[in-house]
Amino acid sequence: MSNLSNTSDEILASARNLIMSGGYNGFSYADISEVVGIRKASIHHHFPSKVDLVRELVKRYREDGQASVVTLEQNVPDELDILKVYANHWAKCIEDASRPYCVCALLASELPSLPPEVATEVTNFFRFISSWLTTVMERGYKSGTLNLTSEPHVEAEAFLATVYGAMLSARAYGKPEVFSTILSPALNRLKLTVSH
């Protein structure tokens, strides 16, 4: 039956939304139970403990990201375009308030107080994004589509920091448009200035 996976997906989705707004300690099984419409005890059937639930959530979050990256790289050849699509993805999520913040950004902020199993998954997520961005920078440098001023892995970390910092600022001011305001010049700087 697909009811099983349906309910457990609903649980994960509502947990994701709740974490997105208040972090690991900002939600409870009771909160999920209200959203999904089942009893607390039934959630424990799908995810015995809160650690199990969030660990699985972050693991899937990373896997989904990895799948998206594969699709993105298949469809967009130009490296600058790849970075633009990535930035625009977040710009859209923030501006239409559908996913106004990265689950792993919030969990990473709380890292020292997270259960170790969850913390490990969160670190894995950041390592994945970072190493992916590094490959994009390297490729863009070699093929001459990106204008790098530092080593690829440094440019990758700097770009990631800009995206996540911009996300935080947008939330802090309550102004979604701040994200794009910050990202535009960052992307422009990576564009090759064509000499003509």
Residue count of the chain: 196
At 111 the three-state DSSP class reads helix
Contacts with DNA by CB under 7 A: the residue count is: 23
- 135's contact among DNA, its own copies, none, with CB below 5 to 8 A by partner kind, is none
Alpha helices in the chain (DSSP H): 3-22, 29-36, 40-46, 50-75, 79-95, 103-109, 116-142, 152-173, 178-190
Closer to DNA by Cβ: residue 42 or 123: 42
Closer to its own copies by Cβ: residue 30 or 111: 111
At 97 the three-state DSSP class reads coil
The tokens describing 108, both together, are 């990473």
Asked if residue 46 binds DNA (CB under 7 A), the reply is yes
Q: Return the residues of window 61-100 that contact DNA according to CB under 7 A.
A: none
Shortest spacing between CB 26 and DNA, in angstroms = 9
Q: How many CB atoms lie within 10 A of CB 7?
A: 17
Contact mark string toward DNA, 6..35, x via CB under 7 A: -x-------------------xxxxx----
Shortest spacing between CB 112 and DNA, in angstroms = 16
Binding residues vs its own copies (CB under 8 A): 21-26, 100-101, 104-106, 108-113, 122-123, 126-127, 130, 149-150, 154-155, 157-158, 160-166, 168-169, 171-174, 178, 181-182, 185-186, 188-189
Closest CA to 192 of 153, 139, 141: 141
Whole-number Cα distances in Å, 3 to 7, 8, 164 = 6, 8, 36
What secondary structure letter does DSSP report for 146?
A: S
The binder of DNA chosen from 22, 39, 63, 111 (CB under 7 A): 39
Which residues are near DNA by CB under 7 A? 1, 3-5, 7, 27-31, 37-42, 44-46, 48-51
